[in-house]
Structure 1
Amino acid sequence: MSVQVISRDGEAEYAVVPWAEYQALLAAAGRPSEQTAVSESGDGLAQLSSRREALGLSREQLARQVGISPSYLELIERGEREPDAAIRRSLAFVLGKAAQEQEAPAP
């Protein structure tokens, strides 16, 4: 497994794995695979802004969680920039996670 560990102040903060390996980990754990909110082909980018707003996320919140600047996210939302596959996967993951949190029943 090829894992990239991202550290901040000498402490591991994130672990990044290739998408296929992440899907294999989910399958091994008996969890369904993540649904991509933003497809890697770019089809979901046209609705990115409305999806973000529907989930109650500000541009700044989404950008921070994805690891890009709010101004770059704005360019993506307006169709002026085409994000690479890694940013698309991050967008899909963050938006999918936010949608699951909204759908989860309150304890």
Structure 2
Amino acid sequence: MLSYDIEIRNTDSHKIYDKSTNKRINEGNSVKIGNHVWLGMRAVILKGVNIDDNSIVAGGSIVTKDVMSNTIVSGNPAKQIKENVYWTREEVMQYKIEEDASLNA
């Protein structure tokens, strides 16, 4: 499941070279995203990352390393914050509306 404004980058966009060898030092690399993965809003997935099945990337996270299955990662850079989890697409739509007494005055 993908939220909005996600970036998946398999390159750094511009080439960078070692001045002494003229060798490129920032080659691109594939990104692999497994099955049943939830990417939160504004998550950024960088080159070379593998995201295993059933994992969750919290919104706003910048993922620079692999994500193991059934884990939640969060932060910049993203770090594992919980393991042995799973998620469903079932929406949580329970809101409790409390009456504001000042509105009845």
* TM-score, normalization by structure 1: 0.20
Which structure: larger Rg?
A: 2
The higher-RCO structure (CA 8 Å, 6+ apart) is: 1
**TM-score, normalised by the number of residues in structure 2:** 0.20
Q: Which has the higher helix share?
A: 1
